[in-house]
């Protein structure tokens, strides 16, 4: 066995986004494309000599082949050890935990998260740093710079590693430890939550449905929810990870998790319903006859976190991404703790978590987590909800109603305009950007604008500044945020986030889209959606 140095030319389009590099699977399968990006990661992080890494992914198409390539490149770049999940599987939060538990130098995560998988669908790769969190902007910029000047990559000509059996092995002198992808994560969850209380909940006749969407969370949920906590067999559905996610779209929202929504809205609905996405970092929460918005879920979890042993002493602070509703801010204010508003992307929470300034974080795109890892964690959110339900002994609907009676309700929705021509999406953003300084005091569709800006974030820990993080229009009692998504693989996705606040003594029973209609119309008018996009209706409403 020998190291080969393969000459290569730089590829276009290897600039990582908020969650690494995502492309169509066929692009990653082009000769040298994956190798060039992996070598760029090694170069941007000081090389691999003597280092230890974690490695795994969500099991989507090309996952196993890509892992073999990365193992051989790690060996060729001098890595000492790689910890890889059995059959190449590792959820994103489990990867973050393994990095921290084993004090590795980082980890490779193969996933396009909630994007569909398959030969003609999406693939992705991101590198998490030694703190367990996504690579910070300075690191991703260094990766991109390296990808633009790369001349060769190093790879071993060794045989593939058998990933089907949990055992240690060697690859060109490098230690490869194939491990149970669930075990260490399962142990961590036992430390955080009152499993006895949750077992008692299920023993009392409590029912739930967890839709793993044929993605990576299936084995984790089967082991923990059914195996340890005692939920009835069959409570975890679509539990076997498949390369194409069973032909579905592994995005846990009411549009794509239709099976779950049908179950919880039916005549024989379970008490609780939940789902997770492709790589296990997102979640959807439902109760009997009710859907919990991600923004509300974050606020409820923060307000009730002390029900779980890990958070019994209270929270240091709460952080949310700017598109997420301000519901969590009101909880922080009531608790007398800090609240932070960051750009979209979990990496922006990392410094706050490392500095001990926050305990719980959340994004509107169904991502919530805490300081136990440096990633959002779908199953963690489900278990915290179960712990809260076990302690409060009430329903999801009653918990929401009580929460709104105390804090008020933020009617909230996200409207996605997908696969747009980039020029049209940019035209809408420029149309609104050009008006930001003049909107204050204007009345639009019955709403009065208080102020508007383009969000720029100054990190309170390291002082770094991230500009152009979304257009924000503040109305009296309402807010709209517009941004272009960085998680798609073709065209542009324009996301419009709508939020109207109803005070604690107000009407909390309205249908969200009806409540938000004036704000929706005002944004479409300001952005000239009909003219510039050629349509006003979004592709997906969540």
Domain 409-541: homologous superfamily in CATH: Alpha-D-phosphohexomutase, C-terminal domain (3.30.310.50)
The DSSP secondary-structure symbol of 20 reads B
Cβ atoms of 475 and 488 within 8 Å: the answer is no
Cα–Cα distance, 345 to 356 (Å, whole number) = 19
Per-residue pLDDT at 488: 55
Domain 3-180: homologous superfamily in CATH: Alpha-D-Glucose-1,6-Bisphosphate, subunit A, domain 3 (3.40.120.10)
Per-residue pLDDT at 1: 63
Q: Output the CA–CA distances (angstroms, integers) from residue 335 to 77, 318, 381, 410, in the order listed.
A: 49, 10, 20, 18
Cα–Cα distance, 70 to 63 (Å, whole number) = 11
CB contact set of 470 (below 8 Å; sequence gap of 6+)? 322, 323, 343, 344, 454, 455, 481, 482, 483
Q: Considering only CA atoms, which of 194, 186, 189 is closest in space to residue 387?
A: 194
Neighbours of 77 (CB within 10 A): 22
Per-residue pLDDT at 489: 57
Per-residue pLDDT at 538: 94
Per-residue pLDDT at 351: 92
Cα–Cα distance, 412 to 378 (Å, whole number) = 20
Q: The tokens 């992080």 sit on which residue? A: 45
- 185-407 matches 3-180 in CATH topology: yes
Fold of 185-407: Alpha-D-Glucose-1,6-Bisphosphate; Chain A, domain 3 (3.40.120)
Cα–Cα distance, 368 to 481 (Å, whole number) = 20
Would you tell me the crossing angle of helices 396-407 and 378-392 to the nearest 10 degrees?
90
Alpha-carbon Rg for the chain, nearest whole angstrom, is 23
Cβ atoms of 346 and 133 within 8 Å: the answer is yes
Taking only the tens of pLDDT, the chain with its 542 residues reads 689 999 999 999 999 987 899 999 999 999 999 999 999 999 999 999 999 999 999 999 999 999 999 999 999 999 999 999 999 999 999 999 999 999 999 999 999 999 999 999 999 999 999 999 999 889 999 999 999 999 999 999 999 999 999 999 999 999 999 999 999 999 999 999 999 999 999 999 999 999 999 999 999 999 999 999 999 999 999 999 999 999 999 999 998 999 999 999 999 999 999 999 999 999 999 999 999 999 999 999 999 999 999 999 999 999 999 999 999 999 999 999 999 999 998 889 999 999 999 999 999 888 999 999 999 999 999 999 999 999 999 999 999 999 999 999 999 999 999 989 999 999 999 999 999 999 999 999 999 999 999 999 999 999 999 999 999 999 999 999 999 985 555 689 999 999 999 999 999 999 999 999 999 999 999 999 999 998 889 998 98
Neighbours of 431 (CB within 10 A): 15
Cβ atoms of 42 and 139 within 8 Å: the answer is no
CB contact set of 73 (below 8 Å; sequence gap of 6+)? 35, 38, 39, 42, 153, 154, 155, 156
Cβ atoms of 379 and 221 within 8 Å: the answer is yes
Q: Is the pTM of this model over 0.75?
A: yes
Distinct helix (H) and strand (E) counts, the chain: 17, 27
Cα–Cα distance, 143 to 485 (Å, whole number) = 21
Per-residue pLDDT at 383: 98
Q: Output the CA–CA distances (angstroms, integers) from residue 369 to 217, 227, 326, 378, 381, in the order listed.
A: 15, 23, 17, 8, 7
Q: Considering only CA atoms, which of 95, 61, 76, 68 is closest in space to residue 6?
A: 76
Find residue 7's DSSP bridge partners.
152
**E-assigned strands of 129-271?**
152-156, 168-171, 174-179, 208-211, 236-237
Per-residue pLDDT at 490: 66
Cα–Cα distance, 145 to 234 (Å, whole number) = 48
CA atoms within 13 A on the CB side of 89: 24
Cα–Cα distance, 257 to 282 (Å, whole number) = 13
Residues 385, 255, 121, 23, Cα dihedral to 10°: -70
According to DSSP H, which parts of 167-319 are helical? 183-192, 195-203, 217-221, 258-264, 294-304
Per-residue pLDDT at 247: 95
Phi first, then psi: give them for residue 491, nearest 5 degrees.
Answer: 60, -155
Find residue 168's DSSP bridge partners.
177
Q: Pairing relation of β-strands 174-179 and 122-128?
A: unpaired
Cβ atoms of 254 and 416 within 8 Å: the answer is no
Cα–Cα distance, 213 to 21 (Å, whole number) = 23
Cα–Cα distance, 373 to 446 (Å, whole number) = 44
Cβ atoms of 45 and 139 within 8 Å: the answer is yes
Domain boundaries, the chain: 3-180, 185-407, 409-541
Q: Is 86 helix (H, G, I), strand (E, B) or coil?
A: strand
Neighbours of 31 (CB within 10 A): 9
The DSSP secondary-structure symbol of 17 reads B
Cβ atoms of 450 and 472 within 8 Å: the answer is no
For 375, the token pair is 């990633």
Which residues form the catalytic set?
Answer: 113
CB contact set of 187 (below 8 Å; sequence gap of 6+)? none
Per-residue pLDDT at 491: 80
CA 451 to chain centre: 30
Cβ atoms of 338 and 319 within 8 Å: the answer is no
Q: Provide the phi-psi class of 103: left if phi over 0, else alpha when psi is between -120 and 50, else beta.
A: left
């Amino acid at each position: 066995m020998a190291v080969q140095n393969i000459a290569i030319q730089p590829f276009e389009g290897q600039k990582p986004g908020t969650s690494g590099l995502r492309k169509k699977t066929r692009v990653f399968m082009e000769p040298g494309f994956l190798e060039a990006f992996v070598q760029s990661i090694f170069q941007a992080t000081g090389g691999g000599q003597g280092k230890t890494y974690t490695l795994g992914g969500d099991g989507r198409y090309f996952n196993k082949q890509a892992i073999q390539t990365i193992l051989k490149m790690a060996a060729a770049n001098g890595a000492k050890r790689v910890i890889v999940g059995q059959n190449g599987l590792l959820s994103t939060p489990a990867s973050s935990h393994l990095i921290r538990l084993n004090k590795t130098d980082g980890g490779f995560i193969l996933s396009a998260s909630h994007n569909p998988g398959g030969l003609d669908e999406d693939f992705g790769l991101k590198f998490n740093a030694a703190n367990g969190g996504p690579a910070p902007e300075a690191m991703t910029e260094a990766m991109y710079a390296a990808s633009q000047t790369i001349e060769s990559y190093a790879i071993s000509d060794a045989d593939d590693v058998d990933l089907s059996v949990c055992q240690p092995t060697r690859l060109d002198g490098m230690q490869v430890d194939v491990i149970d992808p669930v075990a260490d994560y399962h142990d961590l969850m036992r430390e955080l939550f009152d499993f006895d209380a949750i077992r008692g909940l299920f023993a009392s006749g409590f029912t739930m449905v967890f839709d793993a969407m044929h993605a990576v969370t299936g084995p984790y949920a089967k082991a923990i929810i059914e195996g340890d906590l005692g939920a009835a067999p069959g409570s975890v559905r679509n539990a076997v990870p498949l390369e194409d996610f069973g032909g579905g779209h592994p995005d846990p929202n009411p549009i794509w998790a239709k099976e779950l929504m049908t179950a919880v809205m039916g005549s024989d609905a379970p008490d609780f319903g939940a789902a997770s996405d492709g790589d296990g970092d997102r979640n959807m929460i439902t109760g009997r006859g009710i859907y919990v918005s991600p923004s509300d879920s974050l606020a409820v979890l923060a307000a009730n976190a002390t029900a779980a042993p890990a958070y019994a002493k209270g929270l240091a602070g709460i952080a949310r991404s700017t598109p997420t509703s301000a519901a969590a801010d009101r909880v922080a204010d009531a608790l007398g703790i800090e609240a932070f508003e960051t750009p979209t992307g979990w990496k922006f929470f990392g410094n706050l978590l490392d500095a001990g300034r926050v305990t719980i974080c959340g994004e509107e795109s169904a991502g919530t987590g805490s300081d136990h890892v440096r990633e959002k964690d779908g199953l963690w959110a489900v278990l915290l909800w179960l712990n809260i339900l076990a302690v409060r002994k009430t329903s999801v609907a009653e918990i929401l109603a009580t929460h709104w009676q105390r804090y008020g309700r933020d009617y909230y929705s996200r409207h996605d305009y997908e696969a747009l021509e980039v020029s049209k999406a940019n035209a809408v953003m420029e149309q609104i950007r050009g008006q930001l300084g003049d909107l204050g005091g204007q009345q639009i569709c019955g709403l009065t604008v208080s102020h508007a800006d383009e969000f720029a974030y100054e990190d309170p820990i390291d002082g770094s500044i991230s500009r152009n993080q979304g257009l924000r229009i503040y109305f009296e009692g309402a807010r709209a945020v517009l941004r272009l998504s960085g998680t798609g693989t073709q065209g542009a996705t324009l996301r419009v986030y709508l939020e109207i606040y109803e005070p604690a003594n107000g009407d909390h029973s309205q249908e969200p889209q009806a409540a938000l209609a004036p704000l929706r119309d005002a944004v479409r008018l300001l952005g000239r959606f009909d003219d510039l996009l050629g349509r006003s209706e979004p592709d997906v409403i969540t």
